[in-house]
Structure formats: structure tokens, C-alpha cells
Chain A
Amino acid sequence: MTQVSMTVNGKAASGNVEGRTLLSSFLREELKLTGTHVGCDTSQCGACVVHVDGVAVKACTMLAAEADGAEVTTIEGMANADGSLSVIQQAFQDHHGLQCGFCTPGMVMSAAALLKENPRPSEAEVREYLEGNICRCTGYHNIVKAIMAASGQDVAALAAE
């Protein structure tokens, strides 16, 4: 077992892990941060996306030990300080960008990473960026719309409904 320490959502966190323990397992089982979801075992679905030192990472693809000393942000750390929804989260609700909610944490984390590097993405850029996030419920239409709306763009004309 190895001792790991990291900062998660601004708070110090530590625990003992096996060498094979994934960051996703550490977050869910050790830290009880169950907002990070695991939807596959081949790093395809993206339900487990978190930010490690500001970069979007699939938490099922990283060992907990590799995150030793890192700053980790999960979906639990995405709301505003007063607990209200952040701009991206609010846009997902406003535009019905989620249904069952299982892929949602990963979608929000990916959306935040996208908007950080590309503050006004086109529809095609959003779709391309979401290559690593699978949603089975929404058909992506409203997710794309929510992310573009969160970037401050007018989405009314995106498609007739």
C-alpha cells in the first residue's frame, strides 16, 4: 500500500492505496466523492472525467498514485461558492442537456475544459471535443446547445425544435 496525498476540490485529501488503484476508485471509494462515475473499462465513455492540475483527465485511466501531490477538481467542486449552479451547470439545466444524469459529471467537466481552451467554440468544435464522452440519452443535441450557451453564444437559431 502506498500513501497518497492530493488536494481535491480545494481540500487536502490522503489515503492508502494499492499500486493498481485507479484515481476513479480512490475518489469514489476512499473519498466518497461518488459524483465521478465509471461507465466503461476501456477509457471510452468519459463519465469519469475530472481535472488534474487543470487538465481534463479520465480518472479511470490514471492511477491514484500518479495523482499524488496534484490539484484535483471533481463535479462536486464545480458549483459556485454559495452552492448555486455554475454557468455551465446552469446551462445544462436550462437547455435540458441531461436526462439520466450518469454521463453528466463527465460532460460538465469536459465542457469546462473545452471552454477554458476555446471560449467560443463552434458547433463542430464542441462535437469534436466531446469525442471522448458518450451520452446514451440526449442524442447530444441539447448538450451541444448547453455548452455553446454557456460560452455566451446565442443558441436560439441552432436548430428548429
Chain B
Amino acid sequence: MPKDSGIGASTKRREDIRFLTGEGNYTDDINIHGQAYVHFLRSDVAHGTLTSVDTTAAAGMPGVVRIFTGSDFEGVGGMPCGWQVTDRHGQPMQEPAHPILAQGKVRHVGEPIAAVVADTAEQARDAAEAIVVDIAELPAVVDMKAALEAGATRVHDDLDNNLCYDWGFVEENKDAVNKAFEDAAHVTSLELVNNRLVANPMEPRVAVGDYARGTDESTLYTTSQNPHVIRLLMGAFVLGIPEHKLRVVAPDVGGGFGTKIFHYQEEAFCTFAAKACNRPVKWTSSRTEAFMSDAHGRDHVTKIELALDADNNFTALRTETHANMGAYLSTFAPSVPTWLHGTLMAGNYKTPLIYVNVKAVFTNTVPVDAYRGAGRPEATFQLERVVDKAARELGVDPIALRRQNFITEFPYATPVAVEYDTGDYHATMDKLEAMGDFAGFAARRAESEKNGKLRGLGVNCYIEACGIAPSNLVGQLGARAGLYESATVRVNATGGLVVMTGSHSHGQGHETAFPQVIAEMIGIDESMVEIVHGDTANTPMGMGTYGSRSLAVGGSAMVRATEKIINKARKIAAHLLEASEGDIELKDGAFSVAGTDKSVAWGDVTLAAYVPHNYPLEDIEPGLEETAFYDPANFTYPSGAYACEVEVDPDTGKVTIERFCAADDFGNIVNPMIVTGQVHGGLAQGIGQALLENCSYDENGQLLSASYMDYAMPRADDLPMFQVDHEDGTPCTHNPLGVKGCGEAGAIGSPPSVVNAVVDALQSAGKDVTHIDMPLSPDRVWAAMNP
């Protein structure tokens, strides 16, 4: 029987009321009296020397308050990078300066050159058109391998070359891996591209800077997944504002998917300009600007090799990846192709020897950073493609080959430095096989063939590392931040609770799901709990929401704080009931003395805490408010098995998804409805990557896909109804809720099964096609079928 409240209930989302009635409060809905507007003049070339920026005519245009150029920021810190990767030889990565406005050179289309602040947005835009910019164009570096050739044009003159780092993992395993390949009975290799994507939350980025001269306090309203991180980075590293003079507010945020983690120039600019102009300054990104200024995702080129013994056991895995960093290092860019990618290369398999090499490359393109899954989709895609290819080469069933090599004993220490706590990959695959009705596939294929279509079935598994992450571990790996989470639980006198969390909800439903946990712990109604998030002024220092971490890390902090509350309330109850604390039980919102009918209601205890007339003042303080910071002991490891059935039209190459099944193990689940929705959304983004989406540059570094007319977002008629199952997972062993996280799974797990299915369809028609690079657009599929 499904529960109707508490942990495990599909409670309807309370935040929906405001979103469905137009009463959401997104950053662009915020207007401050007297605010001015900024328009950024951006580079329309990929690479060049700025010879002059003449703002004379523009400065005299109507409404112009002030025009800023790079020279206004010479004394200001550049955009910081939050993760330092150490290369194969023990050397730190090359880390270029990243100015707020271009200084001396432009390095990608969309780089801001000048900023016009004016009374209205239209006036700012009009004046920006009157700025005369002279750029001596330089050859653009776009292709990663060409960028590493000797004599290649350098993106940064002050760096040795375009190589950010050359990372080997685990470097000590390299010789043993190479030896295993020499001894292999079979080697399958595959070269593939993980296509560059743009996250595209539907709400474009917005920043509103405000400054109070009387108190010397700055406030930034911004579309962020992690306002405290922005406050720390911008305050400490860019503008030099102490945290007690800087408030960052991220109100309702219309989707993030990673791209709203990072600290961007526009945020620093609006905060800086509000003080410089003594007026609030607002920037609202257009979608076209978003395409050329939001950090992009993916963009890896990989060669992967899998070694097998004569019994088809995986014996070794070796990869070489080129990872595009773009022109500058976005906030967490260096971590994505390394620690969020190399550590996942074992996947669900007990491959004993693994070596991963990653060359991170600077190019004249928009910076690349984390996008939903971040490194883990890239790992999953290459691994699950090469396993599928191996099965086809060996003539064995792809599912059987996977099952044969599954990890079955937990905890399991992989050869790539992580320890999986729990999982049951056979059980998940069993669920997938039943849900996908694989037994009926042959009949469905025959039916498709009658209609002149080719049908294919593709499966894959995935593992991910979520709940990011233990601070001491990530510190050793180069993170310049901790990754704990925080919660303050404030109980009011009449028994209601307010939870101030460092997690941030931008679609995930924290306002609904977090109260379910507390209601379950205390035995009260969910409506008695309110969630506050997104404002550094009234929440404890937290690291925000990404990496499927909110419930596993932020939820755990909330549980710890609530445990402290309950412990204190128990002491108060013991006093009121004149009983020993050890005999007090909390159930259904009342404290009772074990074995008696004496009890006191939750609300009476909380009232006593604030009206402490009959109260153990000699032992405990009045009041009922506790804070906890939770730093996880390990990552969490959600896993799953996905199946995709496609039809391919042999005349046009068009692929349609006929059926998609997702069996996931997320551990325990608080709100199944929300979890299902997260999976659906992830699947749509993964299928979008596989079939539709591609961020494309020409050889001159011109961005060819800068609007929804050129960048193919998945629409309703591109997708099927999904079948998903995430019941009965294996609980995480090291957080109090036993949860693993579900936000990224769909995007991580779905691309390989789509490609595997298309390859299956084409091979069923006798086509010698072993791989097609994503997106599998009709022209690419048709070309593969008709070489």
C-alpha cells in the first residue's frame, strides 16, 4: 500500500501552486527601484587582438549611465577556477587568467568586450551598437587534436601550449594494463565523440546587483544553484568583498542542469557596477547570449579499448580522451573529465585493470564545464558502447556478456579509486528484462519490418558517483572547496518547523520532499514544516545543489539537525513528564513514558522551550533551534539498466524511440512521484543528446547553433511515454536516509542504449555499421547505411 504522507509518499508538490498561477519569483521578476540595465557587447569573432574599443559615440547616447571596458577591471581579480588538477608528471594544470571583460584579446565568440549601463534595456542595447570595436583577427583553434600539434596557434600567449593538463589514472597501473592487452584473447576498440551540448535551462541567466552606500553592503540576485558558492568565489576571489557585506540570493530558479553552478562574469559585473554607478544594475540574458556565454557540456573525443580473455571476462580497459575546456577554465571544468569521469570507468564490471588518459585542451570556444551527469555520462557512453561492440564481435548476447562481468560483491573497491557500497546489478537487469518484454521483441521487430522499418533493441548499464562528496577526499583531488551541506532547523513555539537548508531547489521539489522526512521523524503533518533556501542572509553556509546531492548530503544534514532537536525535546519532555529521559519515546507527534499512558504533545514541548516556566533551566538552554553540517563518508552509487527500442526509417535515416525502459537503483526513496519525474527529465536530455542536440562550431570558431532554430531541443513529439521502475533499491549504507540520488541518472544512462539500439537495427538489415557518432540525426544514420 503506498503511503499517503512521510517518507515514501508521493506527496503533491506545494511549490506548484505558485508556479501554476504565475506567482513564482524568478530573478527576472525582481525589479529594484531606480535600477539600470546592462547590455554586454560580445565578440563576434573567435580569436583576435583588441586594437581599440571606442565608446565615445555610445557614451553620448540617450539614457547611458556609464560604459565599462576591460581597463575598468584591471585591479579586479579574474574569474576563479575551483579545481586544480595535477598532471601525470605531478605538475599543476596550466591555468590562464579569465577576465570579467576582455583585456587585450578575445578568445571566443560571445566573450564580453564592453558593458553599457543605461536607464532602460533598450537604451543599453542601442548604445552598445554604437561602440566601435576594432579586432585584428587571429587564426582560431577549434579542433582539439590540431590544437595540440607543434606550432599550433596558442589560445593564451602566456601559456606554453594549448594543453591544460595531461592526466593519467591510475598512472601506476599503466604498464600492467598494457601487459594485459598484450595477453588478451580479444580486444575491442572504438573511437567516438561525446558531442558538445548546451544545458539550456528554460530560464536564461539573470543577475541584479544592488548596493547600499549607507551600510556598504552589496546584494546580488542571481540564477544560481548555489548562492553561497557564488558569494565565496565572487567575494573572496573576484571583487574583494567580505562575506558579511555581501548577500547572494537565488530565488525561484528555472532549471539549472549544472550550468547555473558556475560563477559567471555577468554576476561579478552587476555587483561591481551597482556600486560603481550607485544604482541597481540588471542583466537578463537573451537565449542567443545564453548559447554563447553559459558554460557548455561534454565535448570529449575518446579512443577506448577493452581486453577480454578466452572466456569473455574483461581483463583490462584503456582509454585516451581529449576533453575540450574551451577558451577559459570555467569554475569546476578541470574536475569533469578527470575525477568525475576516470573514477567511473569500471562501470558495473569487475575489470581488474584500468588506465585512463585525459588531455584537456584549450580552444577558441565557449568554456565547457559540468552538465547533468558531468563526466559520468561520458564514462558510461564509451564503456557501454565498447561492451556492446565486443558482444557483437564475439557473437554473444550483450546482456549475457554484461551479466558475466557484473560486480556482485559489495563493498567493492574498483581499480579506479572508488568503493561502491551497495548495489545489485543482476536484480536491476532482471527488472529491466521483465519491464522491457524482451521476449516479445522478435515479434515487434517483425511487425516493424512489415511496415518497412528496421527495429533495434539496445541495452546498457550505468553506475554513477553522486552525493558529491567527502570534503577531505575532494580536497586531496584538487578541489578548492569543501562539499559538505548544512541545515538549520528552527522549531517555533507552537510546534511548526522552519528548515534553512544550504541545498537549492530549481525544480527538484525540496519544498515538498524535505518536509516529508521531518514529518516522518517527528510524527507530525508535513504542512508543519517549511523549507527556506536560496538566500545567504538566512541560510547556513551550504554548497548547493548539483551532482544528485541534495537529499543524500543536504537531506542528511537536515536529519542530523532534526536529531539534535529531538534529543533536546526529549529532555524537555522528560522534565514535563517527571520521568527519566531514557524512558521517553517519540511517536506520532507525542512524547510518552514507555509502558505508561503518560504523554505530552509535541506542541506542548516546543511551547515549553520558548515559555520556560516549568523547564530544566539548570541543564539546558531555552529555545529549540539546531544546526548541522554533514560531510559524507563516501559518494553514493546509484546504478541502473536501461533499454531502448528504436525504429529506423531506411529511406530517410530517421530514428524514432518506440519504447524506453529504465530500471534504477536509487536506494531508499522519499517521494516516488518526484523521483519518477527526475528520471523522465534525465531520459529526455540523454535521448536529446543521442538523437538531436549538437553544439556546433565551424573551422573559424563561429558558433553555428546559437538559437532554438539551430540547436535541436527535444520536443514533446520526439519522445515516447517512458517506463520506469525504481522500487526496492539497495539502500546506501553510509547516510542516515539510505538514499543515493536520482537527478542525473536518466541523462547518464540513456545515450548508449539509444546508439546500441540503432546499431542493432542497422545490423539486423545486414548493414556493416558498428558505430555512429551522436547525435544520430537522419543524415548521419542514412549516410552510415549508404556508404
Contacts and interface: CB of A to CB of B under 8 A. Distances in A.
Interface of A: 18, 20, 28-29, 33-42, 44-45, 47, 74-76, 78-79, 85, 89, 92-94, 96, 98-105, 108, 123-124, 126-128, 130-131, 133-144, 158-161
Contact of B201 (A29, A136, A160): A136
A108 B24 CA distance: 14
24 contacts: A34-B26, A37-B28, A37-B202, A79-B21, A85-B21, A89-B21, A93-B13, A98-B16, A100-B19, A104-B20, A127-B717, A127-B719, A128-B716, A131-B715, A134-B713, A136-B201, A136-B713, A138-B677, A139-B682, A139-B685, A140-B680, A142-B677, A159-B722, A161-B724
Nearest to B687: A139
A37 B22 CA distance: 9
Contact of B20 (A20, A108, A135): A108
Contacts of A29: 31
Interface centre among A99, A134, A144, by most chain B C-beta atoms within 10 angstroms, is: A99
Contacts of B724: 161
A101 B509 CA distance: 11
Contacts of A139: 680-685, 714, 719, 722, 746
A39 B720 CA distance: 24
Interface string B1-24: 000000000001101111111111
Contacts of B681: 99, 136-139
Given A126-B716, A131-B716, A139-B680, A103 B22 contact: no
B738 interface: no
B156 interface: no
Nearest to B726: A161
B536 interface: no
Given A34-B29, A37-B203, A101 B254 contact: yes
Q: How large is the interface on B (under 10, 10 to 19, 20 to 34, 35 or more residues)?
A: 35 or more
B507 A100 contact: yes
A130 B286 CA distance: 22
A128 B20 contact: no
The 7 closest A-B pairs by CB, nearest first: A35-B22, A101-B19, A102-B254, A100-B507, A139-B684, A159-B721, A44-B708
Contact of B288 (A28, A41, A85, A135): A41
Contact of A144 (B24, B506, B716): B716
Given A99-B508, A161-B723, A134 B254 contact: no
Contacts of B464: none
Contacts of B509: 99
A107 to B, nearest CB: 10
A92 B680 CA distance: 15
A44 B26 contact: no
Given A85-B21, A136-B202, A138-B677, A42 B287 contact: yes
Interface string B708-738: 1100011111011111110000000000000
Interface in B494-551: 506-509
B21 A76 contact: yes
Contacts of A136: 200-202, 255, 257, 681, 684-685, 713
B166 interface: no
A40 B24 CA distance: 19
Nearest to B671: A96
A53 B721 CA distance: 34
**Which of A20, A28, A79, A93 has the most B CB atoms < 10 Å from its CB?**
A93
Contacts of A79: 21
A99 B506 CA distance: 8
A62 B537 CA distance: 40
B23 A20 contact: no
Contacts of B685: 136, 139
B716 A99 contact: no
A34 B22 contact: yes
Contacts of A103: 202, 254
Given A96-B676, A99-B255, A140-B684, 6 more contacts: A35-B21, A42-B708, A47-B202, A101-B18, A134-B713, A136-B201
A137 B721 contact: no
Contacts of A36: 22
B305 interface: no
Nearest to B204: A39
A36 B708 CA distance: 19
Interface in B678-715: 678, 680-685, 707-709, 713-715
Given A39-B287, A160-B435, A130 B716 contact: yes
Contacts of A101: 15-16, 18-20, 24, 252, 254, 507
A131 B718 CA distance: 9
B220 interface: no
Nearest to A106: B202
B20 A98 contact: yes
A16 B506 CA distance: 35
B487 interface: no
Contacts of A47: 202
B222 to A, nearest CB: 15
Nearest to A99: B507
Nearest to A9: B22
A133 to B, nearest CB: 7
Contacts of B15: 101
B196 to A, nearest CB: 17
A40 B506 CA distance: 19
A159 B719 CA distance: 13
Contacts of A135: 202, 716
B708 A33 contact: no
A116 B327 CA distance: 50
A142 B680 CA distance: 9
Nearest to A34: B29
A40 B21 contact: no
A141 B716 CA distance: 8
B21 A75 contact: yes
B507 A137 contact: yes
A144 B685 CA distance: 17
Contacts of B58: none
Contacts of A75: 20-22
B13 to A, nearest CB: 7
Contacts of A74: 22
B506 A100 contact: yes
B226 to A, nearest CB: 16
B723 A160 contact: yes
Given A93-B12, A130-B715, A141-B721, A105 B22 contact: yes
B255 A96 contact: no
Contacts of B255: 99-100, 102, 136-137
Nearest to B290: A40
Nearest to A135: B202
Given A85-B20, A96-B674, A159-B721, A102 B201 contact: yes
B203 A100 contact: yes
Contacts of B288: 41-42
B306 interface: no
Contacts of A98: 16, 19-20
Contacts of A96: 12-13, 673-674, 676-677
Contacts of A158: 721
B72 interface: no
Contact of A40 (B257, B287, B677, B678): B287
A95 to B, nearest CB: 9
Nearest to B16: A93
A103 B26 CA distance: 12
**Among A41, A99, A130, A139, residue most surrounded by chain B Cβ atoms (within 10 Å):** A139
Nearest to A40: B287
A39, A74, A105, A128 — which one has the most chain B CB atoms within 10 A of its CB?
A: A39
A72 B707 CA distance: 28
B122 interface: yes
B386 interface: no
Given A40-B287, A93-B16, A103-B202, A33 B707 contact: no
Contact of A78 (B21, B708, B722): B21
B721 A144 contact: yes
B74 to A, nearest CB: 33
